[in-house]
A and B are shown apart, each in its own frame.
Chain A
Amino acid sequence: MNLQIGLVALDILSSWIRMILALGLSILFALAVGIWAARSSRAEAIILPLLDIFQSIPILGFFPFVIAGIYGAIPNFVGANLAVIVLIFTSMSWNIAFGVYEAVKAIPQDYIDLLSVTKASAWQRIKSLYIPASMSRIAYNTQISWAVGLFFLVASEIISIGQGAKTNQIPIPYGIGVGATNFPAGGDYADYALLIAGIVVAVIVWRYLFLRAFALWSEKFKMMEEPREQHKDPITRFYSYVNHRAVSKLFLIAHDVGVSRFTSTISRFRKGLKYAVLIFFLLFGLLLFSSVLHSGGISLGRLPSVSQLASVEAGVLYALAVSFVRVWYVYAICVVIGLPLGIVISLNFKLYDTVSPILEVISSIPAPILLPAIVLVPILGQSSEAVAAIVIILAIIWYIVFNVMAGVRTLPADMKDLPHVFHVSRWAAWRNVYLPGALTGFVTGSITAIGGAWNALIIAEYFTETLPKGNTVLLTQVGNGIGKTIVIATNNADYLTLTLAVLSMTALIVSFNLIVWRRLYHHVTQRYTYNR
């Protein structure tokens, strides 16, 4: 057996280059947008809601438009790579931009006065104050963005292959997502295993060589007032990110009470929201127009009839309902496993120290690359429903585990002693102390997990492998589902179905966030957060 070590290395290298380019782009974007929003209240009013919309929607659903738009305009290697990089960028940049915004907002007025006194120019202010002040937040949010970005990298590489298969040319010849579909398709499981091992090594090496080094280096830019031990505990770090970022500010609208820190922002946020929605739909319209134009299909004379719209939408809604049920039963499985696991791990210091780095590495392996392996599992692999469920579980359970862990860890040590002092039974301690103590983390984790599940559906519900000759082999498909609908519509360049599917899914997620999660989140953070 000949292992194609060179090819595997090339796959990993190509993917990493895309990731690094996307990260660089994200940081530049975050600096520009974050500083602008922080220093201009007019920009703030539009930029903040816009960032929030982008982080609340299932980005992956929009990818078919991005690839059709960009690859349509530049139908070669460059265009395909650009599309992938843009998608990674859209998964990475919002969170870094929020970080820059908050860092610049948090600069003490004295520093800004100092620069005014010295009559510094705008560029001097940016260079000597805003950028350095943002550095530690950029480094810190980059660690999160990287893990999220890897998932989107693999997903977008896989979808891109499907795109190219129609024309018998693969626009993206190398990448971990490419390898993960091509190796198993050709029966080359040895190289597939090597690739997965390679990714694990790459994730670990990258974490220490770059992410950690970047974070440590950025410490020297910290303002004196900030605590310096932020980087010590990765889980708590993760949590404080999720707590502030993943929970959409949309939650806070119409609920001026609570979180006073954001209150001043919220009123402006609300004012700018309609413009932000407008800009969002303009961008989407542009993308849609560009993709339809390049697919060469539709002229204005052939707009769909109302009955056609209704019948497509009916199909879409049915698929959406099926996926909705899927998302929730998979989420329920994750809760049953993840909630007790998170609590048990964080109550035991030794267990926490040994297990948490292992969990971190496992969690940063992008779930979609494991799909071809899951299909091989006896019995389970035969059921497309089980395969989809496992892929989604692997993609989202970490949000619950890590948030619960961090939530329990933020309980004061005395709180963990409390059940012992009053030697309360184990069950009573869980019911009265640990479970309620984990609740805030659990809810924020759940919001993120459900959001992640909708993205993961697009890979998990329908998966084709591409043979080296360009033919595709269907590996797994569920009976029905919105992810399946989106991928099939993408492959058939069926923009009507695609548009309705993506918009319906987005509408469902956004309204569910506003109606259910927001209330729950408010209730829980007000009663179940521990602050003395």
Chain B
Amino acid sequence: MSQSQPEIAAGTTIVTVDHVRLDYHKEKEPLPVLVDVSMKAASDELVAITGPSGCGKSTLLRIIAGLIKPTAGSVQVLDSEVNGPRDDISMVFQNFVLLPWRTALENVVFGLTSRSDLTEERKITKAENALEIAGLSGFESVYPGELSGGMKQRVGVARALATDPMVMLLDEPFSSLDDLTAERLRKETYTLLISPQTSVKSVILVSHNVEEIIELADRVVVLSSRPAHVVGELRVDLPRPRNKKSDEFFQWVDRVYSLLS
């Protein structure tokens, strides 16, 4: 389903977060949330951002998405600066955020609303394809209220994929699912996003689940508590598929925990 995109060599930097700072203004006193955060995500790479709860990792993700404007610093995708939401960045939310008054298919089509280059039929075909690769064929006309949590999130993934993004942002996508469903969806989502079947080049995942991070990430960026800055960055060079019961796996988990505490 990927459309013609410029060839990007493996290892090219896709996303650059450059000295980002964010202040909230409360009673004119600037309250720093993020201080001098820099990170990169290269092509074919899944980068995980973690940190203590409330540290601002989801905020950082929203800055990358162009939803929040940083007080200082900038975000680039390839060579262009992110000045607001854009077509080549897409997002999957923790609580799915499906419109309850739209069917699964209509929810995916909603993600394509702004694409004036596509006809209505083309949008529907794209949405059907996206649902199919997310494992939801046959559920097109079902309303979100009738879907299980895992299936809702599959719709969320399909909606994000349908726009053919280069960068996929995942905001705690598995944390409101039960363990078994999360486990399965985690594997499938990774395989899907990293495969050449989709247009996605880089994935940035926000999560507080350290085991999930070690299972999925190529690199981990650890943030401190507020005001958040980067306290460590690890390259997880465990071979895939990763065995969650192996000693090496636990050593990596411990390494991240020691940075967190």
A284-292, A302-310, A418-426: which lies at the B interface? A418-426
In the complex, whether A206 has a CB less than 8 A from a CB of chain B is: no
Asked if B100 and A432 make an inter-chain contact with CB atoms under 8 angstroms apart, the answer reads no
Asked if A428 and B113 make an inter-chain contact with CB atoms under 8 angstroms apart, the answer reads yes
Known A-B contacts A527-B100, A528-B100, A532-B176; A425 and B94 likewise in contact (beta carbons under 8 Å): no
In the complex, whether A489 has a CB less than 8 A from a CB of chain B is: no
In the complex, whether A225 has a CB less than 8 A from a CB of chain B is: no
Residue-wise interface mask of A (414-446) relative to B, using a CB-CB cutoff of 8 A (1 in contact, 0 not): 110110111111001000110010010000000
Known A-B contacts A422-B114, A423-B84; A432 and B62 likewise in contact (beta carbons under 8 Å): no
Point out the residues of chain A lying under 8 angstroms from B62, CB to CB.
417
Known A-B contacts A414-B93, A414-B95, A532-B152; A423 and B114 likewise in contact (beta carbons under 8 Å): yes
> Which residues of B in the span 148-173 have a Cβ within 8 Å of any Cβ on A?
152, 159, 163
Count of chain A residues with Cβ under 8 Å from any Cβ of B?
23
User: Contacting A532 at CB < 8 Å: which of B90, B95, B112, B163?
Assistant: B95
Asked if B113 and A436 make an inter-chain contact with CB atoms under 8 angstroms apart, the answer reads no
The secondary structure that dominates the B interface is loop
A140 to B100, CA, bound (A): 30
Asked if A532 and B96 make an inter-chain contact with CB atoms under 8 angstroms apart, the answer reads yes
Known A-B contacts A425-B114, A432-B110; A418 and B97 likewise in contact (beta carbons under 8 Å): yes
A414 to B59, CA, bound (A): 12
Point out the residues of chain B lying under 8 angstroms from A295, CB to CB.
none
Residue-wise interface mask of A (28-72) relative to B, using a CB-CB cutoff of 8 A (1 in contact, 0 not): 000000000000000000000000000000000000000000000
A359 to B176, CA, bound (A): 37
Point out the residues of chain A lying under 8 angstroms from B101, CB to CB.
436, 439, 527-528
Residue ID in chain B nearest A411 by CB atoms: B97
Residue-wise interface mask of A (511-532) relative to B, using a CB-CB cutoff of 8 A (1 in contact, 0 not): 0000000000000001111111
Residue ID in chain A nearest B85 by CB atoms: A423
In the complex, whether B143 has a CB less than 8 A from a CB of chain A is: yes
In the complex, whether B227 has a CB less than 8 A from a CB of chain A is: no
Q: What's the nearest-Cβ distance from chain B to residue A161, in Å?
A: 50
A423 to B94, CA, bound (A): 19
Point out the residues of chain A lying under 8 angstroms from B86, CB to CB.
423
A317 to B177, CA, bound (A): 58
> Which residues of A in the span 494-525 have a Cβ within 8 Å of any Cβ on B?
none
Beyond the given pairs A422-B114, A424-B114, 5 more chain A to chain B contacts, judged by CB atoms under 8 angstroms and listed by A's residue number, are: A412-B95, A414-B95, A422-B112, A428-B114, A530-B100
Asked if A420 and B97 make an inter-chain contact with CB atoms under 8 angstroms apart, the answer reads no
Asked if A417 and B67 make an inter-chain contact with CB atoms under 8 angstroms apart, the answer reads yes
Residue ID in chain B nearest A425 by CB atoms: B114
A528 to B145, CA, bound (A): 10
Point out the residues of chain B lying under 8 angstroms from A530, CB to CB.
100
A424 to B113, CA, bound (A): 6
A412 to B85, CA, bound (A): 19
Point out the residues of chain B lying under 8 angstroms from A527, CB to CB.
100-101, 143, 145
Residue ID in chain A nearest B91 by CB atoms: A421
A439 to B99, CA, bound (A): 13
A424 to B116, CA, bound (A): 11
Point out the residues of chain A lying under 8 angstroms from B65, CB to CB.
421
> Which residues of A in the span 305-322 have a Cβ within 8 Å of any Cβ on B?
none
The secondary structure that dominates the A interface is helix
In the complex, whether B111 has a CB less than 8 A from a CB of chain A is: yes
Known A-B contacts A421-B65, A421-B90; A414 and B110 likewise in contact (beta carbons under 8 Å): no
Known A-B contacts A417-B67, A421-B85, A530-B100; A432 and B93 likewise in contact (beta carbons under 8 Å): no
User: Contacting B85 at CB < 8 Å: which of A414, A422, A432, A531?
Assistant: A422
Of the A-B pairs whose beta carbons lie under 8 Å apart in the complex, a sample of 28, sorted by A's number, is A412-B97, A414-B93, A414-B97, A415-B97, A417-B62, A418-B93, A420-B67, A421-B67, A421-B85, A422-B110, A422-B111, A422-B113, A422-B163, A423-B85, A423-B114, A425-B113, A428-B113, A428-B114, A432-B99, A432-B102, A433-B99, A436-B101, A527-B101, A527-B143, A528-B101, A530-B100, A531-B145, A532-B95
Point out the residues of chain A lying under 8 angstroms from B100, CB to CB.
527-531
A423 to B111, CA, bound (A): 9
Chain A to chain B: the 7 pairs with minimum beta-carbon distance, closest first: A423-B85, A414-B97, A424-B113, A436-B101, A422-B111, A414-B93, A532-B95
Point out the residues of chain A lying under 8 angstroms from B90, CB to CB.
421-422
Point out the residues of chain B lying under 8 angstroms from A424, CB to CB.
110, 113-114
Point out the residues of chain A lying under 8 angstroms from B112, CB to CB.
422
Q: What's the nearest-Cβ distance from chain A to residue B85, in Å?
A: 4
Point out the residues of chain A lying under 8 angstroms from B95, CB to CB.
412, 414, 532
Residue ID in chain B nearest A421 by CB atoms: B91
Point out the residues of chain B lying under 8 angstroms from A420, CB to CB.
67, 85
> Which residues of A in the span 228-284 have a Cβ within 8 Å of any Cβ on B?
none
Point out the residues of chain B lying under 8 angstroms from A418, CB to CB.
93, 97, 99
A81 to B91, CA, bound (A): 63
Point out the residues of chain B lying under 8 angstroms from A528, CB to CB.
100-101
A193 to B74, CA, bound (A): 56
Point out the residues of chain A lying under 8 angstroms from B145, CB to CB.
526-527, 531
Residue-wise interface mask of B (127-162) relative to A, using a CB-CB cutoff of 8 A (1 in contact, 0 not): 000000000000000010100000010000001000
Q: What's the nearest-Cβ distance from chain B to residue A196, in Å?
A: 34
Residue ID in chain A nearest B169 by CB atoms: A421
User: Which of B110, B112, B176 neighbours the largest number of chain A CB atoms within 10 Å of its CB?
Assistant: B110
Point out the residues of chain B lying under 8 angstroms from A436, CB to CB.
99, 101
A422 to B94, CA, bound (A): 16
Q: What's the nearest-Cβ distance from chain A to residue B112, in Å?
A: 8
A233 to B164, CA, bound (A): 40
Residue-wise interface mask of A (162-174) relative to B, using a CB-CB cutoff of 8 A (1 in contact, 0 not): 0000000000000
A526 to B100, CA, bound (A): 9
Point out the residues of chain A lying under 8 angstroms from B97, CB to CB.
412, 414-415, 417-418
Point out the residues of chain A lying under 8 angstroms from B94, CB to CB.
414
Point out the residues of chain B lying under 8 angstroms from A415, CB to CB.
97
Point out the residues of chain A lying under 8 angstroms from B102, CB to CB.
432
Q: What's the nearest-Cβ distance from chain B to residue A160, in Å?
A: 48
